[in-house]
Amino acid sequence: GEDVEQSLFLSVREGDSSVINCTYTDSSSTYLYWYKQEPGAGLQLLTYIFSNMDMKQDQRLTVLLNKKDKHLSLRIADTQTGDSAIYFCAEMLGGYNKLIFGAGTRLAVHP
Partner 1 sequence: NAGVTQTPKFQVLKTGQSMTLQCAQDMNHNSMYWYRQDPGMGLRLIYYSASEGTTDKGEVPNGYNVSRLNKREFSLRLESAAPSQTSVYFCAIGHSSSYEQYFGPGTRLTVT
Q: Applying CB under 8 A, which residues contact partner 1?
A: 4, 8, 30-31, 33, 35, 41-45, 48, 88, 90, 92, 95-104
Nearer Cβ to partner 1 (51/62): 51
- Residue 93, judged by CB atoms within 10 A of its CB (0-12, 13-18, 19+), counts as middle
Between 58 and 78, whose beta carbon lies closer to partner 1? Answer: 58
* Smallest separation (angstroms) from partner 1 to the CB of 69: 21
Q: Which phi and psi angles does 83 have, rounded to 5°?
A: -85, -10
43: closest CA among 6, 78, 76, 90? 90
In this complex, which beta carbon is closest to partner 1, that of residue 13 or of residue 98? Answer: 98
C-alpha–C-alpha distance, residues 30 and 51, integer Å: 5
